[in-house]
């Protein structure tokens, strides 16, 4: 008999939500089908304020949601990411993930999104075209059906699922935040 953990349940819910609206995009199509680019330099936030912010109960993971030319971008930082070889270590910055651009990983100001509204465990929220599911450990699973991608932010920041296929458990780097074909 298999036991299903709450974290696995949250991941399953997030993956199911993505799969329900996943298009049949070919593997050759680009990640950003609308061609809208993140409106800031690598490691920087846009000049505009996010239209929503949220954080886990421990305030160790915080995110901001932006809408640029009709496309939602979610930029999150993790103060507890345990990725080996963390390039932000020693810089006084936090590891960050961004849903909505091909290169999904960079460093962020540790104070970004301070005071964000807390999101409880095992909750599912929707912000525009983006959904966020939380698990019992303070991790977020964030996805967008139009982009056909889910990122995981928290203890480990990585691309969790891409185009309906879960890839987090098959990574040779085992949870590294460095996505395939990244510029890092």
Is 77 or 21 the better-scoring residue by pLDDT? Answer: 77
Is 167 or 25 the better-scoring residue by pLDDT? Answer: 167
Mean model confidence pLDDT for the chain: 74
Can you give the pLDDT at residue 148?
80
Give percent above pLDDT 90 in the chain.
26
Kindly report the pTM of this predicted structure: 0.73
Can you give the pLDDT at residue 94?
85
Q: What is the mean pLDDT of residues 37-43?
A: 71
Q: What is the mean pLDDT of residues 30-46?
A: 67
Can you give the pLDDT at residue 32?
57
Can you give the pLDDT at residue 173?
44
pLDDT-derived band at 129 (thresholds 50, 70, 90) equals: confident
What are 67-114's pLDDT values in tens digits? 888 888 889 999 888 665 566 767 778 888 888 655 457 788 889 999
Would the pLDDT of 24 be above 50?
Answer: no
What are 169-183's pLDDT values in tens digits? 655 444 444 444 443
Region of 110 (left: φ > 0; alpha: ψ -120 to 50; beta: rest) is: alpha
């Amino acid at each position: 008999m298999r036991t299903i953990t709450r974290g696995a349940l949250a991941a399953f819910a997030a993956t199911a939500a993505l799969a329900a609206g996943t298009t049949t995009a070919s593997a050759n199509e680009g990640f950003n089908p609308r061609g809208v680019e993140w409106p800031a330099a690598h490691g920087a936030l846009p000049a505009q304020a996010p239209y929503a912010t949220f954080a886990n109960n421990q305030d160790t993971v915080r995110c901001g949601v932006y809408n640029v030319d009709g496309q939602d971008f979610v930029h999150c930082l993790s103060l507890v990411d345990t990725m080996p070889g963390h390039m932000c270590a020693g810089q006084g910055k936090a590891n960050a993930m961004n849903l909505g651009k091909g290169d999904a990983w960079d460093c962020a100001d540790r104070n970004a999104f301070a005071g964000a509204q807390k999101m409880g465990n095992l909750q599912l929220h929707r912000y525009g075209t983006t959904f966020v599911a939380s698990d019992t450990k303070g991790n977020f699973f964030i996805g967008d059906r139009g982009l056909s991608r889910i990122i995981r932010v928290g203890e480990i920041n990585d691309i969790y699922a891409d185009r309906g296929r879960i890839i987090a458990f098959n990574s040779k780097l085992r949870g590294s935040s460095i996505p395939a074909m990244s510029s890092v």
